[in-house]
Amino acid sequence: MVLKFKKSMKTVLFQIIGLLMAVSAIAQTGQTNVKGTVRDVKGEPIIGATILLQGTTVGTATDMNGNFTLQAPGNGVLVVSYIGYKSEIVPIENRTNIQIILHEDIEVLDEVVVVGYATGSQRTISGAVQKVSKKDMNVGVVVNPLDALKGKVAGVNIQKTGGDPTAGSSIRVRGTTSLSGGNDPLVVIDGMFGDLGLLNALSPGDIESFTILKDASETAQYGSRGASGVIVVTTQKGKAGTKILNYEGTFGIENSYKTIDMLSAEGYRKAVIDGGYVNALDGGANTNFMKEMLQTGYTQNHRISFGGGTAETNFRASLGIIDQKGIIKNNGMQNYTAKIDGSQLLFDNKLKLDIGIFGSKRENRYVNDYQKTFYSAASFNPTLPAMQNEDGSWPEDPNANEVDNPLGRLTIDDREDNAYLATNGRLTWNINDNLNFSAFGSYTYNAKENLNYIPTNIKAGIREGRGKAYRGLNKSNILMGNLSLNYKKIVERHRLDALALVEGQKYDYTGFSANARGFDTNYFLYNNLAAGAIVKYGDVSSYKNGYNLSSFLGRVNYMYADRYIATVNIRFDGSSKLGENNKWGFFPSASLAWVMSEEDFMKDIDVIDEFKLRAGYGRTGNQDAISAYNSLLLMGPSGITSVNGVPTVTYSYNRNANPDLKWETKNMFDVGVDMAFMNRRLTANIDYYYSKTEDLLYDYDVPVPPFVHPKLLANLGEMENSGLEFTIGYSPIRNRDMDLTISGNVAYQKNKLLSLSGTYMGQVLNAAEYMKLARINGAGFQGGNTYVTYQVVGQPLGVFYLPKSNGLINDGLGSYTYNVLNLDDDPNINLNDGGDRYFAGQAMPKVLMGTNINFRYKSFDIQTQLNGAFGHKIYNGTSLSYMNMNTFPTYNVLPEAPVKKIFDSTVTDYWLEKGDYVHIAYVAMGYNFNVEKVKNWVNSIRLTASVNNLYTFTNYSGLSPMINSTTVNGSLGLDDKQFYPLTRTYSLGLSINF
């Protein structure tokens, strides 16, 4: 029997009492046939609830519709129980039809929580662990698992930029702690290690719960993989004693609700005349190219799941499809998923076998090159017609070299087919009541094929040399296995849970790609590369590499008297990617918790249900920034030249090798308190953490000479992160007809780059003072002083370092430029790094907020979520570019540009704006139908309606403040002409349980 999920002590108690009393029961008189239905407070039937006639062994369980029938005396008493719910004692009082409502057991402390390799319960956890169960996940249009989790957990920042269905979300757990790579949390799906790609392949409906391990006292279990947090995903499994068939579907219509409006053709012509321009091209049309690119999108999500189980065998299967059509023409995504899980108990329940198989195929049709496409859409000459020329080419302004006809660009066929097959199996041998042995193995296969064809009749295809076709396949094979021994023992007031584990992981990557150019027809697309005339050096390539990890873990969790909890993890990891002498890393952690509410002095205070103090310290590692073979000196193809008169590919040492590569380590300290009051109507958590990352892996600038290449992947610097997290949940109303729950989480995050220098192979390496990160692109921005965000020691990651402008200055001829201030003693204005620039703010938010409100009245419910980010800035490169009249009339500008007459593209802080916002992510309404009349074959019907992306409150003047404010790369903090239009989705959803 797998009472895996919720098991309340009370339930057990009632069952035992029931059994005991049954023994003494002798006579039964006046039997009647009692029928009834067991439902939860929301009116949904409870399947498999136990109905016992008090004092007897007579009992039954509810069926698929929550119905039961029992022979019982009219004066009998029923004991109704179900795991996770408070048991009800219901006198029959001669009724023949009894409606019973079970209330959820709010004593959730014993809910099973998967804490990494171990399972425990909230009661025994001493680290910062948060669980989001299915019922707590986001609703409305949820097309990937991160959508379901967004805004729910303090310190977990999930961000998606724009409304492109092919774009994924980024996620950061407690900020960015590594400079390069490895900032994505580890995803563990039913024991399998995966990444965000694998997580995104899952249908969100298949997920039972997320458990977020935030602090190192728990993530250290994963040692080398846990430095950026761990998301443990448990998928839905079959349950004993049930049969289910479930359909869930949503359909939504998607529209653009905000685009950048440039000068219309009319306005363009007027500005040309007013400005006395002689070079302007007038194509005679009136086109809004952005509008021409738009379409009404849709999103649909259908999923069927079925399964069943007995005490010994259960299975569950699901099939799903998610289909999204973007609001930009030719842009869309489909994700097909199939999943089956099963388990079998054998040999008197001594042995348990679990298997899970998951397959998915995701097809993306991309908008090729965001920046180019959206920059083109905005700045393309609006007087050109929105149709092809007679010869099949697209109208172009030859002078507008940096942009192409955006409608022509949309004909670029850019696709990705991404297939996953993930399988896992586990054998659990319950050696005795206290000890079990488990063997787990998983295999994940991923094949990602990219296909791209640039037609011969568009500008990009012409410059490639009569079209270009590309095909590339990247495959990964990941094998993982572990063996563990788990010992659990409760002796009086001592509770011990110990784990020993050995683990191996093997990653294999292979791939190839090919390009062909010189096509005379667009018919073949990327389907017959031989149809292209030109294949040069570098057009074909392939690779194969991989790495191995070996690990050992020991863990002890000890609790005394339900009051004092201690957890210790010790892990050793070895990675093949590291330098010869640095393969192994040691990652220990420890945490302590004191459940004060169990102490005598607090136990009697009724209003306090829980008061738990926690403190933990742990060390984790990171090696994700390292690619295979980075520590070895290797030759690769470097080009092709004449050798003895024959064109020959030459080999060269194409990067600096670092034989001294080692683990990046993060030490983290966390202290927190968990509180619950008033029968858990009010819950609160507060956590403070401080972490310091050492031996930061980064592509450091190194001096050339003596180094051959200017970058070296090495372990040098240090960075610190700290933060404060609050989570609060309050349910002021909780009764049969009405529920109201308001929950909120706020996270303050602070980050500082402490050092970027250190010792490498006995030599001192100094950091470059200003490391450039993100710069403005487009016409007139190729080089020079166009960088906006930097990495600078002593500053937070992604700091704006800009010349200071106090406004516009009239040059006397009616045109304006940015007035740049002199900030140093040098009398000249120097826009260079180290010159007249200052630190103008940070790109990453200081405060992140999520608020969820759920309200139910009888069968009707409504949910909404608000997200917010504060304390950061955004560089509005879009306005800098589109307000610059120097680019007019070749490039179109914003309607106010001809009025403001700014003839300047100097990057200053003029366009640096506050990025604060509050976003209403969705409002979703639901209604549960009364299925009384069809209860024999339908258990529940629920209809939902939702609006996603309702509104954003912000003072930011650009299209949206929800740009990349988290990922350290060349777009951090920068809004630069490449925003996918904002979309709003109206959807209807239906869920039927049979």
Partner 1 sequence: MKRNLSKYSLILSFSLVLFGCSLDETPIDQLPESEAYKSPALIYLNTVANLYTEIGGTGGGNGLAGTDRGIYDLNTFTADEALLPTRGGDWFDGGLWQDLFKHNWKSDNSVILNSWNYLYRVIGKINMSLDKLNSLIDENPDNTYLPIYKAEIRALRAMYYYYLMDLFGRVPIVKSATTQISDVQQSTRSEVFNFVVTELQESIPYLSTANSSKTGEYYGRMTRPVAYFLMAKLALNAQVYADDDWTDNSGIPNGNASFNINGTSKTPWEVTVAYCDSITALGYELESDFSSNFSISNESSKENIFVIPMDPTNFTARNMNLVRSRHYAHGKAYSQDGWNGSSATKEALAIFRKGSEDPRMQKTYFTGKVKGPDGNYIKDVDVDLEYKPDAIALDVSGTTFEKTAGARMAKYETDPTAQAAGQLPHNDWVLFRYADVLLMKSEALVRMGLSGDADLGKVRARVNAPARVATLDNILDERLLELAWEGWRRQDLIRFGKYTQPISDRPTTAPFRTVFPIPADVLSLNTNLTQNPGY
Residue list 862-901, contact with partner 1 (CB under 8 A): 884, 886-888, 890-891
- Considering only residues 948 through 987, tell me which ones interact with partner 1, judged by CB under 8 A: none
Q: How far, in Å, are 156, 203, 645, 675, 753 from residue 151 at the CA level?
A: 8, 19, 64, 21, 27
Residue 794 touches partner 1, criterion: CB under 8 A: no
**H helix runs in 835-959, sequence order:** 877-882, 897-900
Residue 542 or 930 with smaller CB distance to partner 1: 542
Residue 679 touches partner 1, criterion: CB under 8 A: no
Residue 241 or 574 with smaller CB distance to partner 1: 574
Residue 534 touches partner 1, criterion: CB under 8 A: yes
Residue 420 touches partner 1, criterion: CB under 8 A: no
Q: How many residues does the chain have?
A: 994
Residue 586 touches partner 1, criterion: CB under 8 A: no
- Considering only residues 904 through 923, tell me which ones interact with partner 1, judged by CB under 8 A: 905-907
Least distance from C-beta 963 to partner 1, angstroms?
A: 22
Q: List the one residue from 549, 570, 802, 959 that touches partner 1 (CB under 8 A).
A: 549
Q: List the one residue from 13, 490, 543, 736 that touches partner 1 (CB under 8 A).
A: 543
Least distance from C-beta 45 to partner 1, angstroms?
A: 45
Q: List the one residue from 506, 563, 914, 935 that touches partner 1 (CB under 8 A).
A: 506
Residue 383 touches partner 1, criterion: CB under 8 A: no
Asked if residue 705 has a cis previous peptide bond (ω within 30° of 0), the answer is: yes
Residue 680 touches partner 1, criterion: CB under 8 A: no
Q: What angle do CA 273, 278, 281 make, to 5 degrees?
A: 85
Least distance from C-beta 576 to partner 1, angstroms?
A: 4
Least distance from C-beta 443 to partner 1, angstroms?
A: 15
Strand partners, 756: none
> In whole angstroms, what is the distance from residue 547 CA to residue 490 CA?
41
Is residue 884 within 8 A of residue 780, CB to CB? The reply is yes
**CA Rg, the chain, in Å?**
31
> In whole angstroms, what is the distance from residue 204 CA to residue 672 CA?
30
Residue 45 or 889 with smaller CB distance to partner 1: 889
Residue 638 touches partner 1, criterion: CB under 8 A: yes
Least distance from C-beta 951 to partner 1, angstroms?
A: 35
- Our measurement of the distance from residue 989's CA atom to the centroid of its chain's CA atoms, rounded to an integer in Å, reads 23
Residue 193 CB partners (closer than 8 Å, separation 6+): 186, 187, 225, 442, 478, 480, 505
Residue 334 or 830 with smaller CB distance to partner 1: 830
Residue 632 touches partner 1, criterion: CB under 8 A: yes
- Considering only residues 807 through 866, tell me which ones interact with partner 1, judged by CB under 8 A: 830-835
Asked if residue 889 has a cis previous peptide bond (ω within 30° of 0), the answer is: yes
> In whole angstroms, what is the distance from residue 380 CA to residue 542 CA?
38
Q: Which tokens belong to 402?
A: 């940096």
Is residue 229 within 8 A of residue 219, CB to CB? The reply is yes
Residue 443 touches partner 1, criterion: CB under 8 A: no
Number of residues that bind partner 1 (CB under 8 A): 108
Q: List the one residue from 641, 759, 930, 955 that touches partner 1 (CB under 8 A).
A: 641
Residue 26 or 646 with smaller CB distance to partner 1: 646
Residue 284 touches partner 1, criterion: CB under 8 A: no
Least distance from C-beta 619 to partner 1, angstroms?
A: 20
Q: List the one residue from 124, 200, 597, 631 that touches partner 1 (CB under 8 A).
A: 631
Least distance from C-beta 275 to partner 1, angstroms?
A: 9
- Our measurement of the distance from residue 308's CA atom to the centroid of its chain's CA atoms, rounded to an integer in Å, reads 31
Residue 628 touches partner 1, criterion: CB under 8 A: yes
> In whole angstroms, what is the distance from residue 522 CA to residue 499 CA?
61
Q: How far, in Å, are 374, 522, 534, 539 from residue 519 at the CA level?
A: 27, 7, 9, 15
Closest CA to 301 of 360, 249, 338: 249
> In whole angstroms, what is the distance from residue 529 CA to residue 515 CA?
7
Q: List the one residue from 634, 733, 821, 988 that touches partner 1 (CB under 8 A).
A: 634
Least distance from C-beta 471 to partner 1, angstroms?
A: 19
- Considering only residues 712 through 771, tell me which ones interact with partner 1, judged by CB under 8 A: 763-769
Q: List the one residue from 466, 495, 555, 571 that touches partner 1 (CB under 8 A).
A: 466
> What is the DSSP pairing of strand 873-876 with strand 974-975?
parallel
Least distance from C-beta 420 to partner 1, angstroms?
A: 23
Specify the 3-state DSSP secondary structure of 154.
Answer: coil
Q: Which tokens belong to 483?
A: 């063996």
Residue 196 touches partner 1, criterion: CB under 8 A: no
Least distance from C-beta 466 to partner 1, angstroms?
A: 7
Q: Which tokens belong to 711?
A: 């970058």
> In whole angstroms, what is the distance from residue 928 CA to residue 245 CA?
17
Residue 706 or 827 with smaller CB distance to partner 1: 706
Residue 392 touches partner 1, criterion: CB under 8 A: no
Q: List the one residue from 642, 812, 825, 933 that touches partner 1 (CB under 8 A).
A: 642
Q: Which tokens belong to 812?
A: 């006397």
